[in-house]
Amino acid sequence: MTTTEPELATTAVLSPLPPFGPAGPGGLSPAGALDARAVSAWFGERKVLDRVSLEMPAGQVTALIGPSGCGKSTFLRILNRMHELIPAASLAGEVLLDGADIYAPERRLTEARRDIGMVFQKPNPFPAMSIYDNVVAGLKLTGTRASRAEKDHLVEECLSKAGLWREVADRLRQPGGALSGGQQQRLCIARSLAVRPKVLLMDEPCSALDPTSTRRIEQTIRELVHEVTIVIVTHNMQQAQRVSDQCAFFLAEQGTPGGIVEHGPTAAMFGSPADPRTADYVNGRFG
């Protein structure tokens, strides 16, 4: 069932700020394991994914690779229940977070979005909102209550984990839209971290950034994976090799729905793939 945006904004307004993870104050929530089982997806009558199954281990970076149009971004949106908000979209299968189905009838949409955050291809901070307010914006959307002191601590911690604190600490009240593109993307990462997710999804987060900003985002990914599971869509094969622990190669051939050709440890996927189509793709022979 689709949840409207007004419902999203007003759900569970009395929820307290959840505790930090096992590391105590200064740590994020424990990383979560994602498990997609026989996931299929449609836009109207057109089937775009066919029975995709993939385990995304806790505390690892999983890269989704493959040519455009093979269903990677659709699969990513299914992992935090964004697909169901698209008109005429439908799906089948299960997505389990730490063994619990995020599509179960009793599971609230806001709960799934809090546990599984999303960073998009194009940085999307609230441009007129201050850097500080951008970070804490997710608390209101998830109905999370926090004191001013808790918010102050959260802003510093999340901006630090996103690699941005030192650059903006003296201008937290300036608009988020005034930051550079790379800084805006790191601000969006900080905003996602503020609700303490178990999983962070990234849809080509560096595709619009310069090489210096890209390297900083990649460094942030490797630092964050010790505390939050990351799933990233990327068309940059060098980036997939640098940041991921495992890869899944998606392909849609001759008008058929997208599916996973092969998945496994990144070193094996690039060094000795089992399927010749994987070898062709990672070596730039198509796509």
Tally of domains within the chain: 1
Verdict on whether the full-model pTM lies above 0.95: no
The answer to whether residue 84 is domain-embedded is yes
The answer to whether residue 89 is domain-embedded is yes
Assess whether pLDDT exceeds 70 at residue 271.
Answer: yes
The answer to whether residue 220 is domain-embedded is yes
The answer to whether residue 188 is domain-embedded is no
Distance, in Å, from the CA atom of 220 to the CA atom of 287, rounded to the nearest integer, reads 28
Distance, in Å, from the CA atom of 56 to the CA atom of 245, rounded to the nearest integer, reads 10
Encode pLDDT of 225-260 as tens digits: 988 999 999 999 999 999 999 999 999 988 899 999
How would you class 6 by CB atoms within 10 Å of its CB: exposed for 0-12, middle for 13-18, buried for 19 or more?
A: exposed
Specify whether the CB–CB gap between 125 and 179 falls below 8 A: yes
The answer to whether residue 170 is domain-embedded is no
- Which CATH number belongs to the domain containing residue 269 in this structure? 3.40.50.300
Encode pLDDT of 47-94 as tens digits: 999 999 999 999 999 999 999 999 999 999 999 999 988 889 999 999
Predicted pLDDT of residue 14: 36
Domain that holds residue 219: 32-124+199-282
Predicted pLDDT of residue 114: 87
The answer to whether residue 64 is domain-embedded is yes
Encode pLDDT of 188-216 as tens digits: 999 999 989 999 999 999 998 999 999 99
The answer to whether residue 277 is domain-embedded is yes
